[in-house]
Copies of this chain bind each other. A is one copy, B any other.
Amino acid sequence: MSGFDKRVASYEEAMEGIESGMTVIAGGFGLCGIPENLIAEIKRRGAKDLTVVSNNCGVDGFGLGLLLEDRQIRKILASYVGENAMFEQQMLNDEIEVVLTPQGTLAEKMRAGGAGIPAFYTATGYGTPIGDGKEVREFNGRPHIMEEAIVGDFAIVKGWKADWYGNVMYHHTAQNFNPMAATAGKITVVEVEEIVEPGELDPSQIHTPGIYVDRLIQGAFEKRIEKRTVHS
């Protein structure tokens, strides 16, 4: 058995160790490229008081929306939420704390967390409520705010193909936040549609090198479409 075999036998094993109060970073944009089965497993396990870092928070009954049903999320860092009635209600009742974060800053905070960059400066959010209380500093004659990196106890990621060393490729725009999430988890769990032998993927075409991946599982996916638009 190779020490680089990241495969686990079950979703139960994939999310082993997740506990109440932890921070979970999730890939996905809307319902596209979300680790839907890993989220469902977090629901099954019932960990509470979670801090979730994700661009969105799913819909009623699917994706991260599932974790709202049993009030498992205490705090969320996201750029856009509230598409779901349950989220709206919990937000209005102050049952969930929402830290709205500009989408690009959110992606960069995850990348920084994985890359050992504790903080960076960006013009995004300067002069807005997002900049309140943050250090302001001028570069090239323009004010910027300091943003800090994010690291998660767990990162949950949805890939397309992976070899069992954990080298992952993503499919189309299901890539989105997944590569950054993968770098920023103390434990990174990736679910994919297909696992192949090491050597089958072109080394230069791997989006997430296996060094970031701790656990890997092959699953079946519903891949719900949020806004089905077709060309007649």
A residues with CB within 8 A of B? 108, 112, 115-123, 137, 139-140, 144, 148, 169-172, 175, 203-205, 207
Contact = CB atoms under 8 A, between A and B. Distances in A.
A140 B118 contact: yes
A119 B139 contact: yes
A207 B205 CA distance: 9
Contacts of A116: 122-123
Contacts of A203: 172
Minimum-distance CB pairs A-B, first 6: A118-B139, A120-B120, A119-B121, A117-B120, A205-B205, A118-B121
Contacts of A170: 204
Given A117-B120, A118-B121, A121-B117, A172 B139 contact: no
Contacts of A148: 139
A107 to B, nearest CB: 10
Contacts of A205: 205
Chief secondary structure at chain A's binding surface:
mixed
A203 B139 CA distance: 35
18 contacts: A116-B122, A116-B123, A117-B120, A117-B121, A117-B122, A118-B121, A118-B139, A119-B120, A119-B121, A119-B137, A119-B139, A119-B144, A139-B148, A169-B204, A170-B204, A172-B203, A172-B204, A175-B204
Given A171-B204, A172-B203, 8 more contacts: A118-B121, A118-B139, A118-B140, A118-B144, A119-B137, A139-B148, A169-B204, A204-B207
A144 B120 CA distance: 12
Contacts of A115: 108
Nearest to A119: B121
A152 to B, nearest CB: 15
Contacts of A112: 120
